[in-house]
Amino acid sequence: MASKALPAATRGPMLAAAMARHQPGPISADERRARLRRAAEVARRLGFKGRVEYRHVFSTAGGAQYGVGPSPATDLLIVYADAFQRDADPDDFSLEAIIAHERGHQFVCRHRRLQRLLSGRHSTASEEILASVVGSLLVEADADREALALKAMADAVQCGMAVEEAARLVGQLRSCLESLL
């Protein structure tokens, strides 16, 4: 509403400034390669099969995105600039946690029995919970394990579960999925 009152000459630069704030700053080719190398190394360590790409743009996905291919070897993991920005923020998820969540999606998508379980009404929410739980089982750092378990719990609470029920669900899923990994 307020922008309507502004003259067009002022709105233009303000809009450009707002857009610029939502773009990553430029990085060198070396840094871009270093980011791709680090993302690929983390993905491989977590068991990701397929291609890893780095795109120097901000995403709406939270920093990374998993794409399903005809086979696991052709699956795609895209890591975005915001994954590195979040990684640098001590109040946010690490790069490992972000990639582990996407690796969790790959595991869930590629597991026939889990896919059958996810054919119901709340499949999207359930897949998000499962991906975080799988990720929490794959990461090495305690802080990442806890962060992903808390995310799974929060997603379960978001679906209407009480906190204790959500904790029990995450505990049971960790126990079940540990034997599948």
Q: Which residues bind other proteins (CB under 8 A)?
A: 31, 33-39, 60-65, 82, 84-95, 98, 101-102, 128, 143, 145-147, 149-151, 153-154, 157, 162-164, 167-168, 170-172, 174-175, 178
Contact in structure between 40 and 55 (CB atoms under 8 Å): no
Closest CA to 133 of 66, 65, 83, 181: 181
* Least Cβ distance, residue 8 to other proteins (angstroms): 31
**Judged by CB, which is closer to other proteins: 1, or 18?**
18
- For other proteins, give the closer residue by CB, 130 or 170: 170
CA distances 151 to 11, 40, 67, Å, are: 39, 23, 21
Query: Measuring CA to CA, which residue among 106, 110, 98, 101 is closest to residue 129?
Result: 101
Exposure string for 3-12, b = 16+ CB within 10 A, e = fewer: eeeeeeeeee
Q: Judged by CB, which is closer to other proteins: 89, or 112? A: 89
CB of 107: closest distance to other proteins in angstroms? 15
Minimal distance, residue 180 CB to other proteins, in Å: 12
